């Protein structure tokens, strides 16, 4: 039994699918398939690729694949994008090498996402369906599609860079740990006990391999989660402050203002009015200088 919902704009299609069993696909365009729930196996040219939940796989004109479910409940959601559009945005953002990786006919690109990022993406796609249903933003869907694909491919780039950087596993494990919402309500020394290192030793190790101090990275993770809650829930500021580990609303508002140059109230209001883009909670923000002016310019 399969339920299918499509969102369409010229050249682009969003689809939401629930599959049981196996189905073969032939492609005239690219399909980025998100697997937020359950486990399955993707078959491409006779080769099998076990696909756990929180994985994204990219299938294009060179791939014919079959999805076979192995665990239930099971869900997947697709984002379709035209081949020419994909080639242009990947080459402009990542260079020709990324598109070359995508068109490998025997090994489709597989991207592993943190659970909180997958949930954010699923929520965002659901909100796009709502806008589509009431006839809003039709001219923007192409740009939003491209931005989502760029965001996903950024995780593939990150994985490759991390593999080449020899970052210790304890640092990677700590980064994964503080992406979990419950970790943000704890204090850094308590979290670092899980690494097996002293606070001072781990702090030096972390900054050496990431370029961030422990404190800055942890605050960035808090602000990342706060921005997600502001734009994807109706929780009051008091509850959001608690969720991200602040004992007072005033302390949370002050720190949020340092990161986003606006209050949480204004941030939420701008999001509801479509004045700012969605911030996906994956990485903390980093300050950069632009013509002598310092400000938070983009996510790292």
In a 13 Å sphere around the CA of 75, the CA atoms on its Cβ side amount to: 11
Average of per-residue pLDDT values in the chain:
78
User: What confidence tier does 218 reach under pLDDT thresholds 50, 70, 90?
Assistant: very high
Residue 62: predicted pLDDT: 87
In a 13 Å sphere around the CA of 265, the CA atoms on its Cβ side amount to: 5
Rounded average pLDDT over 29-44? 90
User: Rounded to whole angstroms, how far apart are CA atoms 62 and 185?
Assistant: 46
Tens digits of residue pLDDT in 88-131: 999 999 888 899 999 998 889 999 888 878 888 888 888 777 76
Looking at the chain, the whole-number percentage of residues with pLDDT higher than 90 is 31
Best CATH choice for the domain 3-165 from the list 3.30.700.30, 2.60.120.10, 2.130.10.30, 2.40.110.10: 2.60.120.10
Fold classification of 169-299 is Arc Repressor Mutant, subunit A (1.10.10)
Task: Indicate whether 292 pLDDT > 50.
Answer: no
Task: Indicate whether 66 pLDDT > 90.
Answer: no
Looking at the chain, the whole-number percentage of residues with pLDDT higher than 70 is 77
| Intervals of CATH 1.10.10.60 along the chain | 169-299
**Which range among 116-120, 130-134, 149-153 shows the weakest confidence by mean pLDDT?**
130-134
User: What confidence tier does 1 reach under pLDDT thresholds 50, 70, 90?
Assistant: very low
User: Rounded to whole angstroms, how far apart are CA atoms 46 and 64?
Assistant: 10
In a 13 Å sphere around the CA of 77, the CA atoms on its Cβ side amount to: 17
User: What confidence tier does 214 reach under pLDDT thresholds 50, 70, 90?
Assistant: very high
Residue 137: predicted pLDDT: 58
Task: Indicate whether 267 pLDDT > 50.
Answer: yes
| Intervals of CATH 2.60.120.10 along the chain | 3-165
For residues 199 and 20, the model is more confident at 199
Residue 146: predicted pLDDT: 85
User: Rounded to whole angstroms, how far apart are CA atoms 3 and 17?
Assistant: 6
- Of 2-16, 94-108, 119-133, 163-177, give the range with the top mean pLDDT: 94-108
């Amino acid at each position: 039994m399969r339920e299918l919902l499509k969102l369409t704009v010229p050249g682009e299609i969003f689809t939401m699918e629930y599959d049981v069993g196996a189905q073969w696909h032939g492609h005239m365009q690219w399909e980025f398939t998100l697997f937020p729930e359950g486990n399955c196996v993707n078959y491409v040219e006779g080769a099998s690729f076990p696909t756990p939940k929180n994985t994204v796989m990219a299938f294009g004109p060179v791939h014919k694949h079959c999805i076979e479910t192995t665990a239930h409940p099971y869900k997947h959601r697709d984002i379709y994008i035209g081949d020419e559009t994909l080639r242009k945005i990947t080459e402009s953002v990542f260079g020709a090498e990324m598109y070359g990786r995508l068109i490998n006919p025997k090994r489709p690109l597989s991207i592993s996402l943190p659970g909180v990022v997958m949930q954010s993406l699923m929520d965002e796609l659901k909100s796009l369906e709502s806008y589509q249903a009431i006839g809003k933003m039709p001219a923007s869907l192409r740009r939003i599609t491209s931005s989502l694909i760029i965001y996903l491919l950024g995780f593939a780039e990150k994985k490759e860079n991390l593999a080449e950087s020899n970052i210790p596993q304890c640092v990677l494990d700590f980064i994964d740990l503080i992406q979990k919402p419950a970790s943000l309500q704890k204090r850094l020394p308590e979290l670092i006990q899980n690494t097996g290192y002293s606070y001072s030793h781990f702090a030096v190790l972390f900054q050496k391999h990431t370029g961030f101090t422990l404190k800055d990275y942890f605050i960035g993770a808090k602000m990342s989660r706060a921005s997600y809650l502001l734009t994807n829930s109706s929780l009051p500021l008091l509850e959001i402050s608690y969720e991200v580990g602040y004992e007072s609303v005033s302390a949370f508002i002050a720190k949020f203002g340092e990161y986003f140059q606006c209050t949480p109230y204004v941030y939420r209001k701008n999001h509801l009015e479509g004045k700012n883009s969605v911030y996906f909670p994956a990485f903390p923000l980093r300050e950069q200088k632009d013509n002598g002016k310092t400000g938070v310019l983009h996510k790292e």
